[in-house]
Amino acid sequence: MINLSVNINKVATLRNARGENRPDVEAVALDIESFGANGITVHPRPDERHIKKSDVYSLRPNLRCEFNIEGYPSDDFVDLVIKVRPTQVTLVPDAPDAITSSAGWDVSANSDFLSSLVERFKDAGIRTSIFINADLDSVRAAAKTGAERVELYTKPYADAFTKDPKAAIAPFIEAATEAKKLGLGVNAGHDLNLDNLAFFASNIPFLREVSIGHALICDALYFGLEETVKRYKNALKV
């Protein structure tokens, strides 16, 4: 089974637009869980323009599904993760002012830094995933850090999918195969949607989890949240 982790950042963005608690981020997360999602993802940023630290603390004790916190591992972020102890932490190389993730880590250049973080999170009982580009060098370097998983950055796949799906997915198949060979679990995320998700899921070997936020929340405007979660879950049935 491929797990669906729903990123709820956009729900928090909508709430923050009015400065009130509508929609209630925690209530929406629990509803998404009840609709069949296997996990909830949050990406707290330093300016708290969407998910706030208080959201992270309030979500943790109430979720029964997996909880994934992703972000750049600043001192404040690492401290938050250690205190909250989610199921998984996903390390991304975003600058503080980044609108969204736009590339995976240069893992080799940051090997010592990432390895020390992986060790610290392991000591706290937290699974670590490193956000990488779909190339063999990145996979091999990630394995050397001791991380349990990698998350493949899928925007290049999404951008090329409509023109040539087989060519678009080829490097991701290769990267996932190498990850499995090296003992890494494979996650994926960024710009996956109802148009390209089923093809991706049915062709990527050993895929454990996809993390989807923006597209899913956009689709929920038309289909409703419960129906949208079901549609994304169905797209993952391979």
Active site residues: 43, 70, 190
Write the DSSP string, 200-214.
HHHHSTTEEEEEE-H
Contact 140, 171 (CB under 8 A): no
DSSP at 96: T
Q: What distance in Å separates the CA atoms of residue 189 and residue 152, rounded to the nearest whole number?
A: 6
CA dist 230 and 225 (Å) reads: 9
Inter-residue contact 138 to 179 (CB < 8 Å): no
Whole-Å CA distances, 43 to 7, 94, 131, 132: 8, 11, 13, 16
